Amino acid sequence: MRQFIIRRILYSIVTLLILSATIFLIVRLTGDPVALMAEASARPEDLDRIRHQWGLDRSWPVQYVTFMQNAFRGELGKSFNYRLPVSELYFQRLPNSLTLGLAATLISLLIGVPAGIISAVKVNTAWDSVAKGVALLGLSIPGFWLGLVLILVFSVWLRWLPTSGAGDWRHVIMPALALGWYFAASMLRLTRSSMLEVLGSEYIKLARLKGLPDVVVIALHAFKNALIPVFTLAGVNMVVMVNAAVIIEVIFAWPGIGRLLYEGIFQRDFPLVQGVVIMAGFMIVGINLVVDILYAFIDPRIRLTR
């Protein structure tokens, strides 16, 4: 067990090193940030001064090592545009993204889990077909377009909800629905297959043989076990949603980290872009590590493979 955990942690560190080196290289291969920062009339010696000031005159390996050292201390460099530490900007925006991610996770669970259970219990009936249709639409409707249509219907035509910004709960509904919609489909599919697997297992058959009513079998026996993978996926999805909501945050002017990334891209603010992207990698590698270790505790067979 300990060996398994150590190996997983080592893998995660290697993953992060490769990822950060890739991002670091791409940023530096695609243009000179100094030329963008300085005014057009700047003299060559001014450019050199700026380059020195931001530490861009050192060799790439030196820059990378310094960058990683700082990153592990929680320092992600300084934003060109805001002239503030990237970590400060990042943690200012992070709570908003967490709120949105949490709301979207709740919506995806509220749609996906009940629909998945109904579809598994009433397998191969009209209910099942409806659920399959919902899952298909979840994958086919682009989330950002759903967001635009929601704005059109609920803000422009019905005037029920505010179009953009952050404030009370009414601001969260539409972005959370647009973001969670796609993930609801994956929740639905997983709940359905997981329920089907459990319902076909021996202990459920035994419970049925004992003469327990269907409701009890489904609600007390099957439900609990079938939902372990579903909630795991919900947790992983939440971390993904916190980081991947760029377009939704742009559409709804939601002040989260996705919008921060978008602003950074258009202001050519490389340290900011680099910082936000690397933080996303850290978070996702982290949650995957946690899930792997938790599963190894729950299911000893996992420890033996790989």
Q: Which spans of this chain sit near another protein (rule: CB under 8 A)?
A: 11, 14-16, 18-19, 22-23, 26-27, 29-31, 136-137, 139-142, 144-145, 148-149, 151-152, 156-157, 163, 193, 240, 243-244, 246-247, 250-251, 261-262, 265-266, 273, 277, 280-281, 284-285, 288
Place of tokens 């670091």: 24
**Angle at the Cα of 283 (from 14 to 16), degrees rounded to 5?**
15
Helix, strand, or coil here: 299?
A: coil
Name the minimum Å distance from CB 61 to another protein.
Answer: 18
Name the minimum Å distance from CB 281 to another protein.
Answer: 5
Backbone angles phi, psi at 78, to 5 degrees: -115, 135
Name the minimum Å distance from CB 222 to another protein.
Answer: 19
Name the minimum Å distance from CB 173 to another protein.
Answer: 17
Pairwise CA distance, residues 270 & 261, whole Å: 10
Pairwise CA distance, residues 279 & 38, whole Å: 27
Name the minimum Å distance from CB 116 to another protein.
Answer: 14
Helical H runs in the chain? 2-29, 33-37, 44-53, 60-72, 86-121, 126-140, 143-150, 169-199, 202-209, 214-216, 223-244, 246-251, 257-266, 270-298, 300-304
33-42: long-range pairs with CB below 8 Å, 24+: 33/80, 33/268, 33/270, 36/268, 37/80
Name the minimum Å distance from CB 264 to another protein.
Answer: 9
Pairwise CA distance, residues 75 & 48, whole Å: 24
Name the minimum Å distance from CB 9 to another protein.
Answer: 13
Pairwise CA distance, residues 121 & 124, whole Å: 9
**12 vs 70, which CB is nearer to another protein?**
12
Structure tokens at 58: 């050192």
Q: Which helix (H) or strand (E) holds 43?
A: none
